[in-house]
Structure 1
Amino acid sequence: MRNYTPKIAMIAAATSVISFPVFAASEQAPFNGPYVGGALTLHDFGSGATVSPSATITLDDKNKVGGGIYGGYGVQMDQIYFGLEGGFYLNNTPEPTFSFDTTNGGLKAKNTFDISGRVGFVAEQVLFYGLGGYTNTKFDTTGLAANVDKRLGGFRYGGGIEFAMTPQFSIRAEYTRAEYKKWDVASGANTITLDPDENRFLIGASFHF
């Protein structure tokens, strides 16, 4: 008689790897409740600089790699999701630059605080969500006659997708855009108006309680 046990074991193992995780009835709301997480980020910052008196100005946006932590609370009602989330992120150099006449300046983003509301739709163990809220980043100027720093507030909005690997662990991919308040900085006889913006791509892992 042929021994089918090894073949059956191999098929069962392959099926367990490729199959979608199925949660018990008591675990059907994986996005409900409090959570904390960590993230890797890619930032595309722009200075949006203009100068007065009027002069031709050259802008050069730069990408930055960073990271941060976040936490929040979600309420999952069947397939509808509502949540509130806060986060703290560290941004890295290089900074976006601007140049005019003999001035070569830059705008460095140091750290960011976010607080956002999330609204989404849950399909099985996948959450599709949009978000919007307040963001606040510390900026430093570089290359000017007198460099200064300031925290600028703004509005962040975007969306993402989150996948529950287990009832206690999920991963997410997210894109947001932030637009900040304008900032006038004096440099010699010139006034530079900075109008920063940011595109942020985020990969995160969350632990649910």
Structure 2
Amino acid sequence: MKKIPLFLVAMALVSPVAANAQDAEDNRLQGPHIGIEAVRDSNEASQATSTREASRKGYGGRVHAGYDAVLGNVVLVGAEIGVGLGGKTIDQASLVTPGRFKVDPGLSYDATGRIGITPTDGLAFYGRAGYRWLKTEQSVTGQTTGNFSRKETEKGFTYGGGMEFAATEYLSLRAEFNHTKYSDDLRQNKMSIGASIRF
């Protein structure tokens, strides 16, 4: 017997919710919003051509602004831009002893979209995807040759997911996880909790 496609199963589960959901215009997660987040960053970096990786965890923040809409009473779609801190400096031995290789993340910028379900008014589960830019200062010091220091803007695809609920008519709370691969040599994980003011 052929397996039923996953999306048919999802539709079967969602349909009863959609049939009993209230009008979309009453959903408290709809419309424009601005907010702030507390972030736990985990950065992983390696020097080009090296198989050695170093990681560094730290705390930062992000501010965001966006717009959400509820379609068919149950599907949440939205777009968002954000600016945040990049995390802690990564410091490891360079390819030539006794040199050091460092990556110091600065500000990050992102533009993402999200899509999910709102099983009830004021509650959403969603996936997020988009693009992120990260300003960095990278350097190699202490080698006899090949030392450098330069500023670069890394960029890459970011994706993740989370949940959000409306605490009041004008305030919503969220928790998210996002992963960004800037290159084979630099990756970043972000866990965040945040709050948004809705208009």
TM-score over 0.5 for the alignment? yes
How far, CA to CA, are the matches of 1:87 and 1:141 in structure 2?
A: 23
- 2:31 corresponds to: 33
Report the secondary structure of 2:94's partner residue.
Answer: strand
The letter of the residue matching 2:158 is: R
Shift of 1:98: 4.6
- The Cα shift of 1:26 comes to 9.3
Checking the alignment, whether the CA contact within 8 Å between 1:44 and 1:198 is kept in structure 2 is yes
Task: Tell me the C-alpha RMSD between the 2 structures.
Answer: 2.1
Q: Is the 8 Å Cα contact of residues 89 and 103 (structure 2) preserved in structure 1?
A: no
Is residue 138 from structure 1 mapped to residue 132 from structure 2 by the alignment? no
Q: Residue 121 in 1 paired to residue 123 in 2?
A: no
Residues 104 and 96 (structure 1 numbering): CA distance in 2 closer, same or farther, change over 3 Å?
Answer: closer
C-alpha separation in 2, matches of 1:98 and 1:115: 34
How far 1:123 moved relative to its partner?
1.9
- Measured in 2, the distance between the counterparts of 1:142 and 1:65 equals 23
What is the letter of the counterpart of residue 201 of structure 1? M
The number of residues matched between the two structures is 170
Alignment check: 8 A CA contact 2:89 2:102 kept: no
Question: Percent identity over the alignment?
Answer: 27
How do 1:148-163 residues align onto structure 2 when only pairs under 5 Å count? 148-163=150-165
> Is 1:203–2:193 an aligned residue pair?
yes
Distance 2:91 2:127 in 1: 28
Structure 1 distance, partners of 2:61, 2:100, is 28
Q: 1:25 to 1:158 in 2, by over 3 A?
A: closer
Query: Which AA in structure 2 matches 1:65?
Result: Y
Contact 1:160 1:175 in 2 (8 A): yes
Q: How far does residue 196 in structure 1 lie from its aligned partner after superposition?
A: 0.8
Instruction: Please tell me the residue identity of whatever aligns with 1:155.
Output: F
Structure 2 residue runs of 5 or longer lacking an equivalent are 1-21, 142-146
Relative to 1, partners in 2 of residues 1:198 and 1:92: Cα closer, same or farther, differing over 3 Å?
closer
Is 2:56 aligned against 1:62? Answer: yes
Matching residue of 2:179: 177
User: What CA deviation, in whole Å up to 9, does each residue of 1:51-102 have, x standing for no partner?
Assistant: 3xxxx65322111211010010000121111100000001342325353331
Contact kept in structure 2, 1:41 and 1:202, CA below 8 Å: yes
Tell whether 2:96 aligns with 1:101.
yes
* Aligned match of 2:12: none
Q: Secondary structure at the match of 1:100?
A: coil
Larger radius of gyration: 1
TM-score (norm 1): 0.75
What is the letter of the counterpart of residue 168 of structure 2? T
Residues 143 and 117 (structure 1 numbering): CA distance in 2 closer, same or farther, change over 3 Å?
A: same
2:85 partner letter: L
Counterpart CA distance in 2 for 1:96 and 1:69 is 27
